[in-house]
Structure 1
Amino acid sequence: MLRGASADAYAATAAALTGADDAGAVGRDLFAVADLLRAEPGLRRVATDASVAGEAKAGLLRDVLAGKVSDLALAVVTLAVAQRWTASRDLADALERLGVVAVARSAGGDAGRLEDELFVFGQVVQDNPELRDALSDPARSRADKARLLGDLLGDKVLPATVALVQQSLSGSYRTVGVALADYQKVAADVRGQAVATVRVARPLADDDRQRLAGALARTYGREIHLNVVVDPEVIGGIRVEIGDDVIDGTVSSRLDEARRRLAG
């Protein structure tokens, strides 16, 4: 989460991320620059040094990136280095987030499908210990992990999904699962939505799903993308997690509360 000066710098830089003919390519370019800044501490320090003139920093990045990224990606990066950042790592984090925004926009009318695919793959990683261990194994190169993911995904998902899943290997998040969850939230925010995780004992019927989404949208003042998790431990009822809010109307939670009262 970017705060203070970095939040203002991000907002100013995001304004340049418009009019991309190939938003997916721009997003991948921004990912590459974020990775470069993380890998090169010296370059990162200069790029975020408030004592160095913005134009000098922009000139340095133009020299380093010329011919390697698109004109729009370069414009975004040079605008970013002219801003003031609270911490040096915030610049790379902001460029990665802007890359996610660009890739999400590239999905166009399939944006909802992108969000679903990110969630589903995040669940696959969470539920498969062998895959989770392989993706977190420091002995395996990032390229090796990328090949593994490429074999798993193939052409079964959107190109935008592939790009974001591959970027989740960058190490900028604690785990791949955490990265995918945050990317989904960014993708939803691009569409003016929030994300709610709904835990139920059995799949929701379409009508129930629509009614729940409508009720949450009225409560939170924006459209809600539902991640539905079928969890037998719920027994009955429903649990909704949206942001820091938890709405727990499950039978299991009521049974736990009854047990606590009896024990007390």
Structure 2
Amino acid sequence: MTAHGASREALAAARERLDALTDSTSVDAAQLAEELAAVTALLDREVSLRRVLTDPAQAGEAKAELAQRLIGGQVGGPTADLVSGTVRSRWSRSRDLVDALEELADTADITAAQQAGALDDVEDELFRFGRIVSSSTELRAALTDRRATTSAKSELLRSLLGGRANATTERLVTRLVTAPRGRSLEAGLESLSKLAADRRNRMVAVVTSAVPLSDAQKQRLGGVLAKLYGRQMHLNLDVDPAVLGGIRVQVGDEVINGSLADRIEDAGRRMAG
């Protein structure tokens, strides 16, 4: 999420509290994610409640105590403590609190995958699922149909991902599809991929080539990009024969074109000019 003012500081503090919790071997990160997602859904529905919990006129301790009373018996101690600490902070907008809790839930699930040694799989599966959705108008329409019930969408995703993808991937995508909270499916998947990369302080590069890259090429490209951007780089690899040769690399909003097709197009533009 993009936070401003007081919410930026509150979000940074919430992220630190989550890291401290998930660093403990006694905390089940997957359970924490599930419970945080439930609290997110509650506050997303109950507008008046989230306004009370983010009211700047109320003392932070009073808001924390209210949160403990409301959810203390419904979730585990780590979740209740994390939510209480989060509402104790000052938020610029009530919606920022819900956005933050949603991010914490997703990050906790991604942390669970990291602890299980499955983060690479989750990153790749999120990327592949995004590619499948973008290439199928019918599937995208089914997953974003506002008339479809939550159970129908969940069942569709279960048929697509169940047994084929990591359980964390299935949970993340199901939450996104059934509770998009105003986000497009593409934006939500991109956000999840970024969270997964940030978890290991890596950036994501989408690499499109005419033919699959060899292991040596992938290693060399990853090293070059890491030096260029000063951070470890995770490569999401895609094959597109239309590239004609070379590669196309996108890191965030920046595109590095090295494909033959792009060079032909540039030459044509120069000739036309």
TM-score range, shorter chain: over 0.9
TM-fit CA distance, 1:66: 2.4
**Aligned equivalent of 1:104:** 110
The alpha carbon displacement at 1:173 in A equals 4.9
Q: Residue deviations 1:204-246, cap 9 Å, x none?
A: 1111111101111111122111111112221111111112321
Tell me, yes or no, if the aligned pair for 2:27 and 2:78 is still in contact at 8 Å: no
Task: Please name the residue that 2:253 is paired with.
Answer: 244
Aligned position for 2:72: 66
SS at match of 1:15: helix
CA contact (8 A) 2:243 2:259 kept: yes
Is it true that 1:122 corresponds to 2:130 in the alignment? Answer: yes
Provide the residue aligned with 2:90 in structure 1.
84
Pair 1:151 & 2:152 matched: no
TM-score (norm 1): 0.95
RMSD between aligned residues: 1.4
For residues 206 and 172 of structure 1, the distance between their equivalents in structure 2, rounded to whole angstroms, comes to 39
One-letter identity of the residue aligned with 1:234: V
Q: TM-score, normalised by structure 2?
A: 0.92
**Pairing partner for 1:262 from 226, 250, 271:** 271
Deviation string for 1:45-101 (max 9, x for gaps)? Answer: 111111111122122222221222221111111111111112221111111111111
- Find the counterpart in structure 2 of residue 137 from structure 1: 145
Residue identity in the other structure for 1:15: E
Give the whole-Å Cα distance in 1 for the aligned partners of 2:63 and 2:109.
26
Distance 1:176 1:75 in 2: 31
In structure 1, runs of 5+ residues without a counterpart are none
2: CA distance between counterparts of 1:105 and 1:159?
Answer: 13
Tell whether the 8 Å contact from 1:173 to 1:179 is kept in structure 2 after alignment. no
CA distance in 1, matches of 2:87, 2:226: 37
**Is residue 237 of structure 2 the alignment partner of residue 228 of structure 1?**
yes
Q: CA deviation at 1:15?
A: 2.0
> Is it true that 1:51 corresponds to 2:57 in the alignment?
yes
CA distance in 2, matches of 1:194, 1:26: 25
Residue matched to 2:222: 213
Change (3 A) 1:9 1:221: same
Contact 1:47 1:57 in 2 (8 A): yes
1:125 offset after TM fit, Å?
A: 1.5
- Give unpaired runs (5+ residues) of structure 2: none
User: Hey, what does 1:178 align to over in structure 2?
Assistant: 187
Write out per-residue CA displacement over residues 130-176 of structure 1, whole angstroms, 9 at most, x where no aligned residue.
Answer: 11101110101222211211121112222211111111121135222
Q: Is the 8 A contact 1:34 1:95 kept in 2?
A: yes
